[in-house]
Amino acid sequence: MNIFEHHLSEIKKIILSEKDALNLGSIDDLKGVNLEIPPEQFNFDLSCNVAMVLGKKNKINPNTLALKLKDIFSNKIKNFSKVDIAGPGFLNIKLSKSALLNNINAILNNKVYGSSNNNETYNIEFVSANPTGPMHVGHCRGAIYGDVLANLLSFNGNKVTKEYYINDYGGQIKNFVESVYFRILEIKYKKEFPKNKDLYPGLYIKDIAEKIIKVNTKLEFKDFEENFDFLKKESLKLSMELIKKDLKFLGIFHDNFFSETDIVNKDLVNKAVKILKDKNFVEEGFLQPPKGESNTDWKKIKRLIFKSTLFGDDMDRALQKNDGSWTYFANDVAYHMDKVNRNYGNLVNILGADHTGYIKRITAAVSALSENKTKLNCKVCQLVKLYKNGKPFKMSKRAGEFISAQDLLNEVEKDQIRFMMLTRSNDVELDFDFEKVKERTKDNPVFYVQYAYARVNSLLRTLNLKLFDKINLNTTNINFNSMEEKIIRKIFEWPKVIESASRKFDLHKIPFYLYELSTLFHAYWSKGNEDKKFKFIENDQIKREEILVIINLVAVVIQNGMRILGVSLPTKM
């Protein structure tokens, strides 16, 4: 239940019925009217801006309108026990005991509190690390972001497919396979591995080579071209096993793996280009020289060009290279055509920090292919900087030139990685300090949230109770103290957090909220050590029934939040 939507609906109905009495000529469907939690110093449950919104539209002093609305709300909305005016015309509202109890019961009876029934279809393509070796730390952030986004959208009732695009075609794959080949020669025939900048130096290449030799003892591997197709197949299979192993350790499993080689084999590029040609979005022509390059130095070659400027791009994009072969972008257009044809309403691409310039062109392609019916949302995950003992964490020799996901997993646990990778917005760089994420203190958010849940369970074990056992409360005996009121109001915010995180894919709002809620709960727990009035247990009995309400409310939100984040919840710590 979203109490803001519920009570805002009440307010709107009353205003519509009292429109004439309030001398309102224009209400414009009450756009811009909302409910929020007021600042703590006001000690109210809700705050509404309706007097300021309608006052401006109708040229009425907001405070004058607020005085009239205060009387109407007090007299006609039984769920409001007190209404007060604050500042330039805010209406602060205290809920009646019956309304408070109804909202609480609705939350406790809803195991997916905060979710909404959106029922849309999504394809989320994420990680898509080049299959030339294990995942690195940058991939980890995008992998976790994509997985949690899928969890969030599924929590809201959407149908989500998690997809991995395997870039298994082109020059980089040839270099990768050649690297494996030279490692095989090194192992089998003691030939020195070449010093070539295009080859992959990581020792994991040697591991792949050893596995291929072990299974294929009779093969000599003396000719690269003759063995290329076989080596490509085996090398890519073993490399993807490395990547899937890393993903599994992070708790990530994809629903679908799509191969770039399939695009070539199924001639999807020609099919996509034909569709765009038929729509008059592709033409033969000449590209303008890149910025900074003079016209005299620019070699004009006629080629197929996608008119992406028709869809908001900065420039039109080449579908062919100088030699007439397809560009990487052409393959991407074909891949997205396939996704469009699979009838997803929404496509989401999670990209690395170096792919920002890619967004406009592929968004234009999806608009052209789907006739603006399919939405594409591209989210870029910025770099992760690792620190240990206050110093930058160095790369491993096994990975080669990058810090691998396995390096990270060797230092900290999956839960810590998943939670901490989401503590900042995806579009800003993230500092990840190994020592801080292992601390068992308030400064470590993941520990503090898990500890709150463990405390809830510890309390229930002491009382020999279970989570979500029925609590008998009624309007005559319900009486929440100041600490409980703060927690309840925070609990009421949860659907707003979910709605906001879902609308803009701002996933960092979820761990931030969970930390704030846990901090309130720990503060209440500690208050009992300072003041007996706030103690939870006395003589091995629960002191007040309201306490059971609070710990169950906290538990249901933390359960849902951590399930979305894919982070475990130990009952003992």
Which residues are registered as beta bridge partners of 391?
388
Nearest Cα residue to 431 out of 470, 388, 466: 388
Helix axes 328-341, 268-278, angle to 10 degrees: 80
Which contiguous run of DSSP H or E holds residue 160? strand 159-166
Which residues are registered as beta bridge partners of 432?
386
Task: Provide the token pair at 132.
Answer: 């030339």
pLDDT at 127: 95
Nearest Cα residue to 234 out of 249, 220, 252, 214: 214
Between the alpha carbon of residue 283 and those of residues 308, 364, 471, 529, the distances in Å are 11, 15, 70, 76
Task: Provide the token pair at 443.
Answer: 């400064």
CA 164 to chain centre: 16
In the block, residue with structure tokens 């309608």? 54
pLDDT at 202: 84
pLDDT at 225: 93
DSSP codes of every residue in 166-199: E--SSHHHHHHHHHHHHHHHHHHH-PPPP--TTS
Residue type, 305: I
3-state secondary structure of 60: coil
Per-residue pLDDT of the chain (573 residues; tens, 9 = 90+): 688 999 999 999 999 999 888 988 878 778 899 999 999 899 999 999 999 999 998 999 999 999 999 999 999 999 999 999 999 999 999 999 999 999 999 999 998 999 988 899 999 999 998 899 889 888 999 999 999 999 999 999 999 999 999 999 999 999 999 999 999 999 999 999 998 888 998 889 999 999 999 999 888 888 999 999 999 999 999 999 999 999 999 999 999 999 999 999 999 999 999 999 999 999 998 877 766 556 666 677 889 999 999 999 999 999 999 888 999 999 999 999 999 999 999 999 999 988 888 999 999 999 999 999 999 999 999 999 998 888 888 755 455 567 888 888 989 999 999 999 999 999 999 999 988 898 999 999 999 999 999 999 999 998 888 888 788 777 777 889 999 999 999 999 999 999 999 999 999 999 999 999 999 999 999 998 888 888 888 888 888 889 999 999 999 999 999 999 999 999 998
Between the alpha carbon of residue 392 and those of residues 32, 239, 382, 385, 401, the distances in Å are 47, 28, 17, 7, 15
CA 175 to chain centre: 34
Termini Cα distance of the chain: 31
Half-sphere exposure at residue 428, Cβ-oriented, CA atoms within 13 angstroms: 10
Note whether 181 and 189 are within 8 A (CB): no
pLDDT at 138: 85
The rounded distance, in Å, linking the Cα atoms of 405 and 384 is 12
Note whether 419 and 445 are within 8 A (CB): yes
Note whether 343 and 370 are within 8 A (CB): no
One fold for 3-95 and 445-565: no
Dihedral in degrees, nearest 10, Cα atoms 145, 149, 150, 154? 160
Note whether 70 and 84 are within 8 A (CB): yes
Domain ranges, ordered by start, for the chain: 3-95, 445-565
Are β-strands 80-86 and 430-433 bridged in parallel, bridged antiparallel, or unpaired? unpaired
**CATH architecture, domain 445-565:** Orthogonal Bundle (1.10)
In the block, residue with structure tokens 């401006």? 56
User: Residue 29, by phi and psi: left (phi above 0), alpha (psi -120 to 50) or beta?
Assistant: left
In the block, residue with structure tokens 């280009």? 273
Domain 3-95 in CATH: superfamily?
A: Arginyl tRNA synthetase N-terminal domain (3.30.1360.70)
Which contiguous run of DSSP H or E holds residue 436? helix 434-437
In the block, residue with structure tokens 């952030």? 141
The rounded distance, in Å, linking the Cα atoms of 110 and 132 is 46
